[in-house]
Amino acid sequence: MKYQPVICLLASAILAQADPSSANRPAPASPAVVDSRILIPADQVTKAAVQVSIQRGVDYLVGKQNPDGSFGGPQRTKGLNIYAPLPGAHDAFLAGASGLALAGLVDAQDPRPEVKRSIELAEKWAFEKLPLLRRADTTTTYNAWGHAYGLRAITRLYQSATAEPARQSSLKNLAQQQIDLANRYEDLNGGWGYLDIYDGLHTQKPSGITTSFTSATMLLAMKEAEKTMGVKLDQKIVTSTLASIRLQQFPDFTYAYSHGHYLSPQGEINRRNGSLARSQACNAALRVFDDPKMTTAVLSTWGDHFIEFEPWLDHGRKKPVPHESTFKISGYFYFYGVYYFTESAKHLPIEKQRDLAKKLARIILTRQEKDGSWWDYPLYDYHQPYGTGYCLMALKWCRDVME
The 3-class SS string of 281-300 reads HHHHHHHHCCCCCCCHHHHH
Q: What is the pLDDT of residue 186?
A: 97
- The SS3 of residue 344 is helix
CA atoms of 281 and 298, how far apart (whole Å):
13
Structure confidence at residue 15 as a pLDDT band (50, 70, 90)? very low
Q: What is the pLDDT of residue 1?
A: 42
Cis status, amide bond into 87, omega within 30 of 0: yes
Residues 6+ apart with CB under 8 A from 69: 98, 121, 122, 123, 124, 125, 126
- Residues 332-337 have a mean pLDDT of 98
pTM over 0.95, yes/no? no
pLDDT tens string 300-318: 999 999 999 999 999 999 9
- Residues 232-256 have a mean pLDDT of 98
- Which phi and psi (to 5°) does residue 144 adopt? -55, -40
Please report, rounded to a whole number, the percentage of residues in the chain having pLDDT higher than 70.
Answer: 91
- Least Cα distance to 82 among 62, 101, 70, 96 occurs for 96
Q: Which fold has domain 47-401?
A: Glycosyltransferase (1.50.10)
CA atoms of 96 and 107, how far apart (whole Å):
17
- Least Cα distance to 214 among 367, 398, 10, 1 occurs for 1
Q: What is the pLDDT of residue 197?
A: 83
pLDDT tens string 158-197: 999 999 999 999 999 999 999 999 999 999 989 999 998 8
Give the single-character DSSP code of 201: -
CA atoms of 325 and 335, how far apart (whole Å):
16
pLDDT tens string 351-389: 999 999 999 999 999 999 999 999 999 999 999 999 999
pLDDT tens string 75-109: 999 989 999 999 999 999 999 999 999 999 999 99
Contact between residue 375 and residue 320 where contact means Cβ atoms under 8 Å apart:
no
Structure confidence at residue 2 as a pLDDT band (50, 70, 90)? very low
Structure confidence at residue 32 as a pLDDT band (50, 70, 90)? very low
> H or E stretch including 238?
helix 235-247
pLDDT tops 50 at residue 112: yes
CA atoms of 146 and 133, how far apart (whole Å):
8
In sequence order, the β-bridge partners of residue 392 are none
**In the chain, domain spans:** 47-401
CA atoms of 329 and 317, how far apart (whole Å):
9
Task: Classify the C-alpha dihedral 59-39-152-93 as positive or negative.
Answer: positive
- Least Cα distance to 206 among 143, 146, 257 occurs for 143
- Least Cα distance to 378 among 75, 153, 89 occurs for 75
Determine the distance from the C-alpha atom of residue 259 to the mean position of all C-alpha atoms in its chain, rounded to a whole number.
Answer: 20
Task: Classify the C-alpha dihedral 44-49-54-56 as positive or negative.
Answer: negative
Contact between residue 358 and residue 48 where contact means Cβ atoms under 8 Å apart:
no
pLDDT tops 50 at residue 124: yes
- Which phi and psi (to 5°) does residue 195 adopt? -130, 145
pLDDT tops 70 at residue 6: no
CA atoms of 71 and 91, how far apart (whole Å):
11
Q: What is the pLDDT of residue 36?
A: 63
Cis status, amide bond into 292, omega within 30 of 0: no
CA atoms of 189 and 344, how far apart (whole Å):
25
CA atoms of 58 and 64, how far apart (whole Å):
10
CA atoms of 186 and 148, how far apart (whole Å):
13
pLDDT tops 60 at residue 284: yes
CA atoms of 384 and 310, how far apart (whole Å):
20
Residues 6+ apart with CB under 8 A from 67: none
Please report, rounded to a whole number, the percentage of residues in the chain having pLDDT higher than 90.
Answer: 86
Average pLDDT, the chain: 91
Contact between residue 70 and residue 98 where contact means Cβ atoms under 8 Å apart:
yes
Pick from 54-58, 93-97, 145-149, 187-191: least confident: 187-191
CA atoms of 262 and 259, how far apart (whole Å):
6
Amino acid identity of residue 215, one-letter, is: S
Q: What is the pLDDT of residue 17?
A: 30
CA atoms of 317 and 363, how far apart (whole Å):
13
